[in-house]
Structures are given as structure tokens and as C-alpha cells.
Copies of this chain bind each other. A is one copy, B any other.
Amino acid sequence: MDEKQGKTSKINLSEVARAAGVSKMTASRVLRGDGGYSKKTEAKVMAKADQLGYLPNRLASVFAGDQNSTFVGVSIPDLGNEVFAQVLEGIDRKLGSFGHQTVLGLTQHAAQEEENWIRTVLSWQPAGLILTGRSHSPRSHDMLRNAGIPVVEIWDLNSSPLDMSVGINHFDCGFDVGRFLIGRGYRALGFVGTSHDTANAASARLDGFTKAVQDGGGRVMKQLCLHDTASYYPGFYGTEQLLASDGAVECIFYQNDSMAFGGLQYCEQKGLDVPGDMGIAGWGDLAIASVLKKRMTSVHVSHLKLGQAAAEMMIARLSGEPVAACRDIGFHLIPGATVRPVVL
């Protein structure tokens, strides 16, 4: 049980070749399906490889071939936020179907964490990197430039990308929601989100939202929870705090549907009718929305598709196909029934 596993037992190319009575090179060609060998040789080599349970050492082949690996480093802020879990799922499935592997990095929204992870993952000669967000440390920039591999920044399209970018314009998205709510007659608006990504997409949404609201003669009271992930409870708690500090708020826009649902629960438990006494708008059109009686006012974004698109751009680039630097996957507003109806 506790034997130091000697590599002794591992079968390598030489042993397969020897067993099959051919040279290493011939065995290598057969195993890669390179062509240029007889059927008979092929059969012999394949049989022996199978019989010996040969597994190629990709470390060696990448190393020898002067290629990069099939790894793709993927950085994600956190998985407690359903949105990012979906993005990751989209990325990994697509990458997997093209023979690539995801090397995961959870950065906790911290540029320093990301930098450390980038340093490490680059040392494994990845084929490319997919990074969430556009704020990277200066050293990260240096390393990425130096590495000379494809980089896809996802999530926020605002950035002039390092290399490639896919996502949506969060400012516009927030703006649309703001204008929509102004159109429904709201003037005293609230925003509830988390504080950790002030430099990121959620805050771009907030900026766009604020702009539209102010343009429409309204005002925005914001509440950023210190909580670490944008989930149900911070939404619940943030709503309580917001209403405590500004009782006049008529409608709240949340960082995502999970937080919005937390807010909805808060209202219900306090006897506030939605949308009668309080309007609620979420973001992301998450899974939970599909079972609620009242359609949640939200913004639909296909996070799975976003992830897939990122993986596709990466793969296209790696195959040398031309790839647009930016891809907007779009969004659309879901009017829903958690805000008051159009006034006729």
C-alpha cells in the first residue's frame, strides 16, 4: 500500500516498440496515426500498446514537439455565484470536445490571486488562457504579453482586450434597465450588489443604471454588501440595509437574480407586496426564475453560451483561423411582473 511508487512499472514508448519489434519512431508514428507504415506494423504496434496498457507521456511529447500543451487556463472569480458556474461549464464542455483540458483558477475577485495563478499556469505551457474580467495586475500584463499565447477575456466587453474578448456591454445593460424602470414611473431607485468587484462588470452595470436613472430625473441609492459572493443571503441582507438607510426606495435593481430572490424573500417576510409596495429587478435570468410564480424582471444573458463562445474563439485561434477580437453575445431585458406595470 505504502510503496513509493517507482516509475518502474510504467510502460513507455521504447517498451512498446521493443515488444512489437520495431523502432521507437515507427511505434510513435503508428500511435499518432501519422501514416507511412504498413498495415501489419500498425496492427502489431497497436496490439502491443493495448496489451501493455501503454499511456503516452504528453509531457514528453509537448516538450519534444516544441508545441504548447492542450491545457487552457481558465480563471473564474468564484463558484458560489451561479452565473460563473454556468460560464465555466460552457467553457469546459466545449474545450473538452476539442481535446483541451481546463486548468482552473479561482481568483476570489483578487488581482493578486490572479497574478499568482497566471504565473503558475504559464509555467505549464498552456495553449491559451481564458480570464474573467478585465482588470489584471501590471505584472500579469507583462507575463501575458510575454507568453505569446491566445488570451480570451470574458465577461465584460467594455475593455479594449489584451487579445480577444467575449461578453456583453454591462454599462449598456445597466442603462437599459435604468431606462426601463424610469419608464415604469420609478424615481427613487436602489441597487444592491456585492462590494468585491467595484472595478468590474457589476459596477459598470451600476454606472449605466445610475446614468439612465439620473437622465430620467431619478436617483439611485446603492448598497454594496461586504459578503464574498453574490448569492441569496447577501440579497436578503442588503435589502434590509438599504431600506433601513433610505425608506423611500420604490424599486431595487440587484446584481443578479440570486440576490434579487433574496430581496424578494425579504419583502415577502416584511409584508411588502411586490410589485405593489416594492419593485424588484434581477440580472442574469438564472435557473431559479423558471419556477417562480411571478416572472422576475431581469436581463437574460446566456452564460453557458458565453462560456462556449470563449472556448470557440480560443480553439479557432489555436487552429489559425481568423477570429474577431470582440464578440458580443448580447442580452435582452425581461419585463417580468416584479415591477409595476406600464401606466396607460
Q: Residues on A close to B: CB < 8 A?
A: 5, 7, 9-10, 53, 55-60, 62-63, 66, 69, 71, 74, 78-80, 82, 85-86, 88-89, 92-93, 96, 99, 101-106, 117, 119-125, 142-143, 146-149, 231-233, 235-236, 258, 261-262, 265-266, 268-269, 287-288, 290-293
Contact = CB atoms under 8 A, between A and B. Distances in A.
Contact of A78 (B56, B89, B102, B287): B89
Contacts of A53: 142-143, 146
Interface of A is mostly: helix
A117 to B, nearest CB: 7
A119 B236 contact: no
B146 A117 contact: no
A290 B119 CA distance: 38
A290 B236 contact: yes
B148 A287 contact: no
Nearest to A289: B232
Contacts of A125: 57-59
Contacts of A266: 291
Given A53-B142, A268-B293, A117 B103 contact: no
B287 A231 contact: yes
Q: Which among A63, A106, A121, A291 has the greatest number of chain B C-beta atoms within 10 A?
A: A291
Contact of A85 (B85, B120, B268): B85
Given A5-B148, A82-B82, A101-B103, A123 B291 contact: no
